[in-house]
Chains A and B, each alone.
Chain A
Amino acid sequence: MSAIDTSASGFLKETTRYPTVIAGAILLGIILLIAFLTPLLSNTDPSYIDAARRAQPASASHWFGTDMLGRDLYTRVLYGAQVSLIVGFAVAVLSTIGGLAIGLMSGFVKAIDAVVMRFMDGLMSIPAILLAVALMSISKGSVTNVIIAITIAEIPRTARLVRGTVLSLREQPYVEAAVAGGTRLPTIIFKHILPNTLAPLIVQATYVCASAMISESILSFIGAGVPPVIPSWGNIMAEGRALWLVKPFIIFYPAVFLSITVLAINLLGDGLRDMLDPRNAQRTTSR
């Protein structure tokens, strides 16, 4: 296993062999910068209504034009980045924690496994976006509720992944040795099992993040997402729908930003998957 260098400089050197990681990271970095620097990049209020300038095409004062209420699209799209990133990262983190807890428990306690995994199978049989739609239709529209709804829909996949990894790790001689040597269960979990589930978990978290952003935009687009007052990309597109045959640009800008952000995270995830896969590490070093 010497193929994987875990030091920071080694990690960076390793990264250069995977251009998709770099491309994804740079793209994501740009979007993150936009989200953090939004107040600097635009000093307009995203909800300021200029009724005299409705649905205007791009101009010097409105770089992306204005929407049907005369609000500045450029500013709204920039603010939309915050919503998407918050939802994406929050769901990724929460579903990883939840999935890890459930997966570890099912992997170690047979009694829990039988019940919990049947329940997870049931949850997984409900298409994720529909589960989120159903949850959102009976709760108040808010960013927090969107995050909770998407997290519930995403947890089973992560739990399943962790459980599978735990079950195969438990059979490993070093874990059996630790058990035979009388190591306590928490130590086995935190010292021997957890570090080895991290690589697939990180990759899974990037995919969950990308899928959560798409889910958020779909929920907002069909009216089951964040409240319309919040400029999320899905909301901007939903509002642009009425005018889209004559003013397609209102949908165009948030669509491009959303696609680029999701693409960046998927590239990062694909690259990390190849990078963290020990089989690939051995293949590249043996050349």
Chain B
Amino acid sequence: MYAYILRRILATIPVMLIVAFIVFSLLYLTPGDPAAVIAGEHATAEDIARIRANLGLNDPFLLRFGTWIASIMQFDLGTSLLTNMPVSQMIGQRIEPTLSLMLPTLILAVCIAVPLGVIAAWRAGTKVDHFITVFAVLGFSVPVFVVGYALVWSFSLKLGWLPVQGYAPIGQGVSRWFQHLVLPCLTLSSAYIALITRITRTAVLEVLQQDYIRTAEAKGVGRHAILFVHALKNASVPIITVIGIGVALLIGGAVVTESVFAIPGLGRLTMESILRRDYPVIQAIVLLFSISYVLVNLLIDIAYTFVDPRIRY
């Protein structure tokens, strides 16, 4: 097993390098002078020259890529075009709210979605199943910001139960932190819950048709044991796969959720950087999120060996 885990970890390195290469070369894929686009319409020749120098556009491509990778290894993600601050410092200031949003959302979504999917599969074809399926299709169709505004409108504006917007750092008290995160987490989890519920339902439904489930029923194993031990365990590979893949939804959704709820996290920083055309910051955030996504999926790959001992490749 350790050999497998080691192989998976080693296999991740080239993927990360490719991701870094793609993120790096995006700047050169677009037609025209990227420095001129970033500088905007009213830029002077000096502005453009300054941006060219900051982005290192004057050196040969591979040399730039090499120096870029080398500086990333030392946690140097470049300097902001606007504030001249190190990008890593800007990201460091914004990372807590984003983690506070994404980690609880991930846990909440899995705790809601997996049981929902199991119930839908167990009750396949009944009203309960239809209800859950409709909910899942809706959750997948209604965009994140629409969910967010609908929740704020009902729970904050009409009922006045929760704060409308903003973020309270966990250091200033857990209860305030929690209150500010309830609606953002619910918002962000909607599409993710829908996705996991659908896959869980399909996977469990397939397992429930297997002979060993009938055998378990025949020998008198209880319903809960059949569903959550026999069925869920055997259906867990596609489910944990989609939990990993769905993190991409969470990352994209966090950008939107943070802007709806005015949470000063990485998503909000992305949006601010788009408006200011601060490309080094955008590039660093895209790289950071992508590398995290690769690492999450590495963990998922490793988790396979625990739920399914047959997996060895």
Contacts and interface: CB of A to CB of B under 8 A. Distances in A.
Interface in B111-167: 137-138, 140-146, 149-150, 153, 157, 164
Contacts of B145: 217-218, 221, 237, 255
B252 A127 contact: yes
A75 interface: no
A131 B274 CA distance: 13
A63 interface: no
Given A128-B248, A245-B164, A133 B143 contact: no
B283 A134 contact: yes
B293 A218 contact: no
A244 B256 contact: no
Given A118-B18, A248-B153, A258-B146, A223 B274 contact: yes
B2 to A, nearest CB: 24
Contact of A129 (B19, B26, B255): B255
A134 B137 contact: no
B258 to A, nearest CB: 10
Given A259-B141, A262-B143, A130 B259 contact: no
B23 A134 contact: yes
A26 to B, nearest CB: 16
Contact of A137 (B164, B282, B297): B282
A138 B141 contact: no
B277 interface: yes
Contact of B290 (A119, A127, A135, A255): A127
Interface in A223-253: 223-224, 237, 244-245, 248, 251
A134 B282 contact: yes
Contacts of B290: 125-127, 130
B302 interface: no
For chain A, what secondary structure do more than half of its interface residues adopt (helix, strand, loop), or is it mixed? helix
B34 to A, nearest CB: 5
Given A134-B282, A138-B38, A217-B143, A222 B270 contact: yes
Contacts of A282: none
A255 B15 contact: no
A222 B30 CA distance: 20
B194 to A, nearest CB: 10
A251 B149 CA distance: 8
Nearest to A252: B149
A266 B141 contact: yes
Given A125-B294, A134-B282, A218 B149 contact: no
Contact of B252 (A138, A218, A266): A218
A210 interface: yes
Contacts of B15: 118, 121-122, 125
Contacts of A248: 149, 153, 157
B149 A244 contact: yes
Interface string B264-302: 000000110111010100110110011001100100000
17 contacts: A119-B18, A119-B22, A125-B15, A125-B19, A130-B286, A130-B290, A135-B30, A137-B277, A139-B30, A217-B143, A218-B252, A222-B256, A245-B164, A255-B145, A255-B149, A255-B150, A266-B140
Given A134-B286, A245-B157, A259-B143, 13 more contacts: A119-B22, A121-B18, A125-B18, A125-B19, A125-B290, A125-B297, A126-B290, A127-B293, A129-B255, A137-B274, A138-B26, A218-B145, A255-B146
Closest 3 CB pairs of A and B: A122-B18, A129-B252, A263-B141
